[in-house]
Chain A
């Protein structure tokens, strides 16, 4: 006789098979083949029959000079760009997202309009929002320059998206505009779930708007904010579309993904590109683990 718990365990295993297969084929296989590719000299000509070359795509000392992804200052530049983009865009999105969520909470006749308005940027495809901002920021005919010139702040139009000094800022602002709604929705759900009597107890204890937010609301929605940061952070570290769309060719704002893509598909250095991709995965993984450890996100159940 099998016990009920044994039967349950077996049923659970059966149910786990499909998803395991999907994960293995869609995640593990590409991961391993990329890892393998990064250890070969694969280029377009020998793509199906590459030679194993060890770690020279990562780092190699050849006649006193260092070569490989890890020795490429452009790669480290792209790492720095990605980190700068991630830190600033996620911070901005969290601040804006919390603000939007608090605004969405206000009960009045306009609340449906406000909620819809907050969500619209999130619904617009990146290519559309990127082009939209590009046109608005265009140096000759863009409305932004037109307004700045009208106000006498600028003498003549500035090419905001191609200027290396401003293009990163522009990209961060577009990303914040686009994805703050995502943070807002998560935080809004967290705010909606706040127990009303706890807030009332706070009022009786003497909180005003600011102390209520600081001492009660913020600590209680912190788990929701942490979840939002993890999601947005991982997204931002993998950023590709926005940077590629705004300024594909610029080395100054190139992200890790743009760097890997360029090596692989523009220069056909598949082995080298795969090494860059592997490094990208490694860096994101390390950051994610550190963040989740530090925020104790994996212990969310015990927090409450």
Chain B
């Protein structure tokens, strides 16, 4: 096997109109994606959206029914996992229970028939990066969840793959450890400069780790972009609602009038607002959804449009307070300062800054 230099340890991944069926269920529908070399791409979506299936198809653990997946320019559809130059970290860690930590990390290299010295060197290097040098002779059972996760990552690192695949690697960890490991994964990505694809249902992980987020919804790519693009300019209601916590408020509304650069809508019959977004296919009188995030609503202050309501739940988180306001259907959530004096039963006025509002047509597509 040839010696690899730093540059060719990383690879582009091209996914071209890939389809996947489980029996009659069409789980991946004509998905095309380009994943840049050395990028950290997060596949995110609710359970059942096909994100894990996507990852497993890239890994070679799942067949593809049609389309192609190429890694570094080579179509890998029919290659077994070991010939794809990938490493994968599983949700359950999937360590070999009968092997020591060292043997777990060395296993792939042993199968490649590497020399003892090289194996020792690579395993010790990975153990040093992950600070698990003290546990090398232990069995996985003697380790905590966080330590096991490090070993699983270490097993991936030692093989120096072109692509790292992570399948919800942090979801079995407790909240504090998850935050810590998240930071370490980000550091690791910088250190290794490798292509990483990461599946999660946790949008905080997606936002914090990703160069690019791919939002999947029932087997299609709903939107791909940087975290802030998705946050600021969701393509559709699904992405708008999925990214951000608490989620974006949606208010049913009607188009009152259109101008060349803005659309005027009403806010629950109480006021009007002119949103600087356009859609060529819309016309006056159309039903639309007005989307606005809780953190962008202005509580008891002046803004472009406003609405008054009673507060029925107050959530004090210290740094911020969330007010749940009465609205037909779902509650409207507004964020205000941590030490707010507002109590349940108070009437508040919430302001809608027009620049922060999103409009979605009846099929959920965003106005641009």
Residues of chain A at the chain B interface (Cβ within 8 Å): 195, 197-198, 200-207, 211, 215-216, 219-220, 303-304
Known: A211-B111, A304-B141. A203 touches B61 (CB 8 A): yes
| Interchain CB contact under 8 A, B82 and A200 | no
Task: Name 5 extra pairs, CB < 8 A, besides A216-B96, A303-B98.
Answer: A203-B61, A205-B82, A206-B82, A206-B112, A207-B111
**Smallest CB-CB A-B distances: 7 pairs:** A206-B82, A197-B94, A205-B108, A201-B94, A206-B111, A219-B98, A197-B90
Please, what's the 1-or-0 string for B71-89, where 1 marks a CB less than 8 Å from any CB in chain A? 0000000001110001110
Q: How far is the CB of B96 from chain A (nearest CB, A)?
A: 6
Given A215-B107, A304-B141, decide whether A205 and B155 contact each other with a Cβ distance below 8 A: yes
Whole-angstrom CA separation of A205 from B90 in the bound complex:
13
Contact across chains for A198 and B97 when beta carbons are under 8 A apart: yes
In the complex, what residues of A have CB within 8 A of residue B111's CB?
Answer: 205-207, 211
Residues on A with beta carbons closer than 8 Å to the beta carbon of B159: 205
Chosen A-B contacts, 6 in total, with CB atoms closer than 8 Å, are A197-B91, A200-B90, A201-B88, A201-B94, A204-B59, A204-B61
Beyond A204-B86, A207-B111, whether A195 also contacts B92 by CB under 8 A is yes
| A303-B140 Cα distance, complex, nearest whole Å | 11
Shortest CB distance A155–B (Å): 53
A203-B61, A206-B111, A304-B97 known; A197+B81 contact, CB < 8 A: no
- Asked if A203 and B81 sit within 8 Å, CB to CB, the answer is yes
CB distance from B69 to the nearest CB of A (A): 15
For A205, the chain B residues whose CB sits under 8 A away are 82, 107-108, 111, 155, 159
Does B265 lie at the interface of the complex (its beta carbon under 8 Å from any beta carbon of A)? no
Contact (A204, B91) CB under 8 Å given A211-B111, A216-B96, A220-B97? no
CB proximity to A under 8 Å, residues B178-230: none
B54 on the interface (CB 8 Å rule)?
Answer: no
B95 adjacent to chain A (CB < 8 Å): yes
Q: Which residue of B lies closest to A201 (CB)?
A: B94
Given that A205-B159, A304-B141 are contacting pairs, would A200 and B61 also be in contact in the complex, using a CB cutoff of 8 Å? yes
How far does the alpha carbon of A201 sit from the alpha carbon of B87 in the complex, in Å? 9
Most B CB within 10 A of own CB, among A206, A207, A303: A206
> For A200, what are the chain B residues with a Cβ–Cβ distance below 8 Å?
61, 88, 90, 94
Contact of A201 among B90, B98, B112 (CB under 8 A): B90
A202 to B95, CA, bound (A): 9
The answer to whether B141 and A204 touch across the interface, beta carbons within 8 angstroms, is no
Please state if B87 and A204 are interface contacts (CB–CB under 8 Å): yes
Residue of B nearest to A206 (CB): B82
State the CA gap A215–B82 with chains docked (Å). 16
Chain A residues, Cβ within 8 Å of B61: 200, 203-204
User: Smallest CB–CB gap between B142 and chain A, Å?
Assistant: 10
Chain B: which residue is nearest A203 at the CB level? B81
Residues of B within 8 A of A195 (CB): 92, 94
Chain A residue numbers with a CB within 8 Å of B87 are: 204
Residues of B within 8 A of A216 (CB): 96
CB-CB under 8 A from A206, the residues of chain B are 81-82, 108, 111-112
Other-chain residue from B82, B98, B108, B155 in contact with A220 (beta carbon distance below 8 A): B98
State A202–B82 Cα separation when bound (angstroms). 9
Known: A195-B92, A211-B111, A304-B141. A204 touches B97 (CB 8 A): no
- The one of B88, B95, B98, B112 in contact with A204, judged by C-beta atoms closer than 8 angstroms, is B88
Q: Please measure, in the bound complex, the distance between the C-alpha atom of A139 and the C-alpha atom of B169, giving whole angstroms.
A: 67
Chain A residues within 8 Å of B96, by CB: 198, 201-202, 215-216
* Residues in chain A near residue B82, CB distance under 8 A: 203-207
Instruction: Give complex CA distance A226, B82 in Å.
Output: 32
A211-B107 Cα distance, complex, nearest whole Å = 11
Given contacts A197-B90, A220-B98, contact A203 B80 (CB under 8 A): yes
Specify the chain A residue showing the minimal Cβ separation from B97. Answer: A304
Which residues from B are CB-within-8-Å of A198? 94-97
Q: Report yes or no: B81 in contact with A204, Cβ–Cβ below 8 A.
A: yes
The answer for the CA separation of A198 and B97 in the assembled complex, in Å, is 9
Residues of chain B contacted by A204 (CB below 8 angstroms)? 59-61, 81-82, 86-88, 108
Q: Which residues of the other chain, B, contact A220 by a CB distance below 8 angstroms? A: 97-98
- Which A residues lie within 8 Å of B108 (CB)? 204-206
In the complex, how many angstroms separate the beta carbon of B72 from the nearest chain A beta carbon? Answer: 17
B93-110 vs A, CB cutoff 8 Å, 1 = contact: the mask equals: 011111000000001100
Residues in chain B near residue A219, CB distance under 8 A: 98
Quick one: CB contact mask for B116-159 with A, threshold 8 Å, 1 for yes? 00000000000000000000000001000000000000010001
Closest to B165 in A: A204
A304 proximity list for chain B (CB < 8 A)? 97, 141
